[in-house]
Amino acid sequence: MQPLHYGTVTNYIGGQWTNAATDARYINVESPLDGRVIAQLVMGTAKDLDAAVAAAHAAFQHWGKVPVKERVQVFFRYKYLLEKHIDGLSRLIQTENGKTYDEAKAEIEKAIELTEFACSLPQLVQGEVMEVSRGVECRTEKVPLGVVASIVPFNFPAMVPNWTIPNALALGNCMIIKPSETVPLTLVRIAALLKEAGLPDGVFNIVNGDREIVEAICSHPGIEAVSFVGSTKVAKLVYQQSTAHLKRCLALGGAKNHLLVMPDANPAMTAGNITASMSGCAGQRCMAASAMVAVGETDHIIARLVEEASKIVPGKNLGAVISSQAKQRIEGYITEAEQQGAKILLDGRNVVVAGHEGGYYVGPTVVDFVTADMALAKEEIFGPVLAILRCNTVDEALAIENASPYGNAASVFTQSGGVARYVAEKASAGMVGVNIGVPVPREPFSFGGWNDSRFGVGDITGKSSIEFWTKLKKTTVKWNPEAGVNWMS
C-alpha cells in the first residue's frame, strides 16, 4: 500500500499532536475529487476530551487575564499568515472537501474577513461606567466564559471554524474544536498557523471524532458553552443535551432557502444570481438557492436560467459532493420528483468526469413543476439542484416560504421596491435578500437564521457573537464615607 498523502491525524491538545492509543479507532479520510483515501483519522475518546479540557483550563488561567488589546495581536499575525498561505490552504480544502479552487480560496478570504472583525474587538467590547447615586459608581465589563467548544460541519472546512475561533479566543476563552470527521485536515494547518501567530499552547485544542465526542462535549462539566453548526437533526440534539447540562448553546441547523421570482425581475441578473447560488460549492451551502418560487409569467426567466446553468460544468466550475452516499441521496431526490410528475429541465444525474472517474460529481439540475408536497420541495437536498415551484401571486409564494420549518435565507427578485419591501417583511427567515442569490451578511453584521435553522439566542458571527462568548460583570463601588447608606446601597 502506498503511504497516505496526509498520514495519520491525531488530536491536538495543549499545543502538541498526541500519540494514538494502541486500541484507537481509525477512519479513512477520502478526497471527493476522486474517491482516494488521503489520510487516516484517529477518533478521540472521552479520555482525550478530558485531557483537552484540562489543558484549556490551565491555559485559561493566563489567557483569560491578558488584555483584549494584547490578545488581538495574535489575530493580526494570524490574518497575515492566512494571506501568506492562501494558495496551500485553498488546495487542501479543495482536496478534502471537493469544492473548486476558487470556492476554497473564497473560504480563506472570508476567514480573513472574520479575523479582521476579531481584530476590531477592543473597539467594541468596552464596558460602561456611571455614577448611579451620589458617590456610587457602577461599571460593567464583558469577561470570558472559560473553556468553550465549537462543533463544525463538513461543507466549509475553514470558514465555519473561523466563525468561532477568532472571536471566541480574542474575547479570552479557550476552545476545544471538534472538526467534521470527513474534513479534518484544514484544521491541522489552522492549528499550526495559530501557533505560529503566537497563540499560547492550550488556548486552542482539537479533539476529533463523531457522535461519541459530541455527546461527551455536551455533558462535560468543564465546558461552559457549546456552539454547533450542522444539520437540524443534530443541532436539536446538541442544543437539548448542552442546555440539559446547563450550558450556554447556540446551534445552527440546516436550511431550505426560497427565492421568489416576480415576472418583472431582470432576467439576466436573476438567472445569473440563482444559478450561482444553487451550484456554488455544489449546492452544499446552508445559504444555497434550493427552491425557486416562480410567480406568474416567468417562462422567459426560467429559460435564461437553464441557459446559465448549462454553462456549469462538473470538474471545471462545479466541484464534487462530499461522498458517494451524498451523490446517491441527491440523485434519489431528483428521480423521485420525476416519478411524481415534475419536469427535469437540466439533468445532472450519472455524471462522470474524465480523469476523475472515482469522484462524486452531480451536474447542475433544474426541475420544474415541483409541487409543495414533494420531498424535493420540502427537504434540504444539499446538492446542485434547483426545484421550481409555480404559483400565481406573491402571497401564494410567501405561503410556500412561510410553511417551511427552516428559516435561514429567503430572497426576492423584482424591480419593484414595494414588492421587495413586502416580501422582506413577510418572509420567515433570518437573512433576506433583494436580487441577491446568497444573502450572507458581511462583517460586522451577524450570521444566523430563524426557526429550525437556529436554536439558541443571538447569531454566531459579528457583534451578536460578543454576547455569546462573554458574560457581563457588574461592579458597584463606593469610596467616600459621606456618600451615606440607603435602601439601595
**Sites of contact with ligand NAD (CB under 6 A):** 151-155, 160, 178, 180-181, 210-211, 214, 229-231, 234, 237, 252-255, 286, 380, 382, 408, 449, 453
Nearer to ligand NAD, 229 or 295 (CB): 229
- Residue found under cell 486500541: 23
Comparison of 231 and 266: residue with beta carbon closer to ligand NAD: 231
- Nearest approach, Cβ of 167 to ligand NAD (angstroms)? 15
Classify burial at 107, counting beta carbons within 10 Å of its beta carbon; exposed 0-12, middle 13-18, buried 19 or more: buried
180 vs 242, beta carbon nearer ligand NAD: 180
Minimal CB distance residue for ligand NAD: 230
Nearest distance from residue 453's CB to ligand NAD, in Å? 5
Instruction: Please state the closest distance from residue 287 (CB atom) to ligand NAD, in A.
Output: 8
Give min distance, CB of 285 to ligand NAD, in A: 7
Of the CA atoms within 13 Å of residue 211, those in its CB half-sphere come to 3
Q: Which is nearer to ligand NAD, 98 or 172 (CB)?
A: 98
**Which C-beta is closer to ligand NAD: that of 206 or that of 345?**
206
Known catalytic membership, residue 391: no
Q: Measured from the CB of residue 230, what is the shortest distance to ligand NAD in angstroms?
A: 3
How many helices (H) and strands (E) the chain has is answered by 15, 21
Whether the upstream peptide bond of residue 153 has omega within 30° of 0, thus cis, is no
Q: Provide φ and ψ at 301, rounded to 5°.
A: -75, -40
**Among candidate residues 211, 228, 219, the one with its CA nearest the CA of residue 246:** 219
How distant, in Å, are the alpha carbons of 85, 101, 149, 191, 461 from that of 82? Answer: 5, 16, 22, 12, 19
Give yes or no for a contact between 420 and 392, defined as CB atoms under 8 angstroms apart.
no
CB 114, CB 447: distance < 8 Å? no
Q: Identify the H or E element spanning 59.
A: helix 46-63
H or E, element range at 17: strand 16-17
Residues with catalytic roles: 286
